[in-house]
Amino acid sequence: MAKKYHDQIIKLTPIQYKVTQQNGTERPFQNEYHDEFADGIYVDVVSKRVLFSSKDKFDAHCGWPSFTRPVDGDEIVTKRDFSHGMIRTEVRSADADSHLGHVFNDGPNGNLRYCINSASLEFIPKDKMKERGYEEYLTLFE
User: Are the C-beta atoms of 116 and 132 separated by less than 8 Å?
Assistant: no
User: Are the C-beta atoms of 66 and 55 separated by less than 8 Å?
Assistant: no
Instruction: Identify the three-state secondary structure at position 23.
Output: coil
62: annotated active-site residue: no
User: Are the C-beta atoms of 43 and 95 separated by less than 8 Å?
Assistant: no
What residues form DSSP beta bridges with 44?
A: 121
Catalytic residue among 15, 115, 121, 129: 115
Residue of 47, 52, 18, 60 whose CA lies nearest to 123 = 52
Determine the distance from the C-alpha atom of residue 141 to the mean position of all C-alpha atoms in its chain, rounded to a whole number. Answer: 19
Q: What is the largest CA-CA distance in the chain?
A: 44
Determine the distance from the C-alpha atom of residue 98 to the mean position of all C-alpha atoms in its chain, rounded to a whole number. Answer: 9
User: Which amino acids are annotated catalytic?
Assistant: 115
